[in-house]
Amino acid sequence: MRIVIISGLSGAGKTVALRALEDTGYFCIDNLPVTLIGSFLSTIETGKDIRQVGIGIDIREKEFLSGAYQTISSLKKKYNIEILYFEAEKEVMLRRYRETRRPHPMLSMRGGMDIEAAMEEERAMLSVIRDAADRIIDTSNYTPHQLRHLISSTYGEFKETQGINISIISFGYKFGVPQNADLLFDVRFLPNPYFIPELKPLKGTDSVVSDFVLNNENTSAFLARLTSMLDFLMPNYIKEGRSYLVIGIGCTGGMHRSPAIVENIAGYIKEKHGIKPNVIHRDMA
């Protein structure tokens, strides 16, 4: 079985991620006490129908969190388990609570505390899960739609035969760096189509903008070095047993240069390595 455990701060995207897993065919269960995960997995592994499982863990199971690290470490020796931990910047979390008008779970558990104090206490209580996580994803710059796409494309379309799932994200530095990127590249040194009137309203996926970006001497030199490095890294990542790789390519606004570069790299990886990357243009309007 392939098992994905999802945890993290309230409001950081756990529910969106778990539903995305469910939509891609995972058998999902939320709010399962950590101490019962072993029994649950033992029960369903006897059958043949369930091969992908998603499990949600959150602050509501506070009584069981103290021994979570030891329990999960023990389960990892027996099962193929990956732990995703979701978090976001404090100001982003506060804005989300204001917009949704939902109370923080800690407020119902302990009265007399404000939202910021509740968030800090939750962060402290979940630190044991964070320490055990295989991947920590900061969702500060993700919309729910983008997060669903990231999860479904990473876990829904994974093929064991391809060895690794690759996501390539274009983004704008002025909107923040994607915190879940394994490899990060800055292409702001390239000529910017934004300052050319006829190209400014277009996107990096439009052929005229793509041609402008790619038909540049510095772009060619950059791509030659980048693809050479990927040719070296990817087989070694696969050999090491990694199941995913996230590559971030950033320019100023994420509208022109980075999308053009991302599309080019995605095409190269598919042609050279036979792996179709998941392409996400985070900030392209």
Indicate the residue among 113, 141, 156 that finishes a domain.
Answer: 156
**How many domains does the chain divide into?**
2
pLDDT band at 157 (very low <50, low <70, confident <90, very high): low
Mean pLDDT for the chain overall: 87
Q: For 203-217, how does the pLDDT look when each residue is reduced to its tens digit (9 = 90+)?
A: 999 999 999 999 999
In this structure, the answer to whether residues 86 and 219 fall within a common structural domain is: no
Tell me, yes or no, if the pTM score tops 0.75.
no
In percent, how much of the chain has pLDDT > 90?
42
The Cα 283–Cα 251 span in angstroms is 10
Of the candidate ranges 32-46, 100-114, 258-272, the one whose mean pLDDT is the lowest: 100-114
In this structure, the answer to whether residues 70 and 112 fall within a common structural domain is: yes
In this structure, the answer to whether residues 143 and 171 fall within a common structural domain is: no
Q: How far apart are the first and last CA of the chain?
A: 39
Indicate the residue among 128, 156, 184 that finishes a domain.
Answer: 156
Contact 252, 259 (CB under 8 A): no
In this structure, the answer to whether residues 90 and 192 fall within a common structural domain is: no
Beta bridge partners of 249: 170, 185
Q: For 75-117, how does the pLDDT look when each residue is reduced to its tens digit (9 = 90+)?
A: 888 898 999 999 988 888 888 887 776 777 766 556 667 778 8
In this structure, the answer to whether residues 178 and 129 fall within a common structural domain is: no
CATH number of the domain bearing residue 121: 3.40.50.300
- Under DSSP, is residue 119 helix (H, G, I), strand (E, B) or coil? helix
In this structure, the answer to whether residues 172 and 146 fall within a common structural domain is: no
In this structure, the answer to whether residues 143 and 250 fall within a common structural domain is: no
Indicate the residue among 100, 134, 156 that finishes a domain.
Answer: 156
The token duo for 27 is 């058998």
In this structure, the answer to whether residues 64 and 200 fall within a common structural domain is: no
Beta strands in 22-181 (DSSP E): 27-29, 52-56, 80-87, 135-138, 165-172
In this structure, the answer to whether residues 139 and 180 fall within a common structural domain is: no
Mean pLDDT computed over 278-283: 90
pLDDT band at 159 (very low <50, low <70, confident <90, very high): very low
The Cα 219–Cα 202 span in angstroms is 19
> C-alpha angle with apex 96: 94 to 101, nearest 5 degrees?
95
What is the domain range of residue 183?
162-281
Contact 20, 69 (CB under 8 A): no
In this structure, the answer to whether residues 99 and 48 fall within a common structural domain is: yes
